[in-house]
Structure 1
Amino acid sequence: MTYEEYRAELEQALKRESEAKAAIAKLEKEIKALKEELRRLERRIAAVKKEIYSLIGTDEQGVRAFQAQVEEIGKEVDALKGLSPDDLFWKKKELKKIKKRLEELRGSRIAALPEIDERLTALEGALAQIWAKVPELPSPGHYTVLKGDCLWNIAKKKEVYGDPYMWPRIYLANDQITNPDLIYPGWELTIPRGVKENQHLVVFGEWLSKIAGYEEVYG
């Protein structure tokens, strides 16, 4: 390499170094400006959050606690999604409680936050779909009459009603029984389950004032 070539290459290298330093300085200036903008945005976000919390009457911790309640209900709803219609029939009390809790949460000002409103709306929709699967009555059970059986003893069996005084229910549900004292081995009896909405199945030992006092009746 000649001296002239060396000088030319050195000048090119120095030029590239100078350009690189200038580019770095420019980038550092831009980074500094962006950091300043970021800090301004963070302050603005904090101010907006503070204003929002003031409007809904809580703070960040309160919002998180509220979200935890919403997600707890979400877990319960998810657990109910896979149940059969018959199983859901026996979960009606639980479904009503979930519905009530959602209504209570919806009544809070915190529920106006977009992300919470969206989640509540999704849960309300999921719960409505579950309710749509709940039958008016569950599928009836069946019992094959054995030798020596009577309606009293059948109703008394744990797998039937566990209450002998429920025998009239079996009698009324089976047209082949014309005399409640006469049933025959081999007969397949229908065992009604549950009652319709706004009905109460009276069991032995109940009276009207007691029934009226039940939470699901009049409370």
Structure 2
Amino acid sequence: MLPESIITVLPELNKAFFETLYMVGISLGIALVVGLPLGILLFVTDKGLFLQNKWVKESVAFVVNMVRSIPFIILLVALLPLTKLVTGTTIGPTAASVSLSVAAIPFFARLVETSLREIDKGVVEASIAVGATPWMIIKDVLIPEARPGIVQGVTITTISLVAYSAMAGIVGGGGIGDLAIRFGYYRYDNTVMMTTIIVLICLVQLIQFSGDQISKFVDKKS
């Protein structure tokens, strides 16, 4: 038999769970669309690579490092004016998705860059030797070779976004974090708090398991 406090909060828990999925889904999608090319740009413009450009590399790296150096809760508050401009409000899951996206883009970009650095340089050099264009090298060599690492990067980013989305509850961002604060912390209900923690743990375990399986599937070397 479930405790009465859990039964009472079940509708809210169901709503909060899907709000969390909504926030993570939007921000992850934006992170993939923007972060993937950004990570590739960080790699191919590095010293010794086929699109070497010191100015571009350092400029992009500076912006990425600057955003990553700001704790998410501070970034969340600092971006409230931008959130208001983009969504017309500063509360709710859609508003929280703005800050989540800004935090996820540089995070995922660095993971993509790291995955690309693990590729054997001989493969890239061989592609250049046969006259492949930069676009062909990126599309037919870099991305396929780094695919398992990129999938793992998506997994890590998704899990980080789940954690960030919980923090968004502090400023009324909705989701499981908001539920934990309103029903667990403010009402001193440890049962609700533990329930939200268990839900988050299960969600993260599912994401990690799925990511591992997909990474193994796309790894042609395994």
> TM-score when scaled to structure 1?
0.24
- TM-score using structure 2 length: 0.24
Q: Give the structure with the higher percent helix.
A: 2
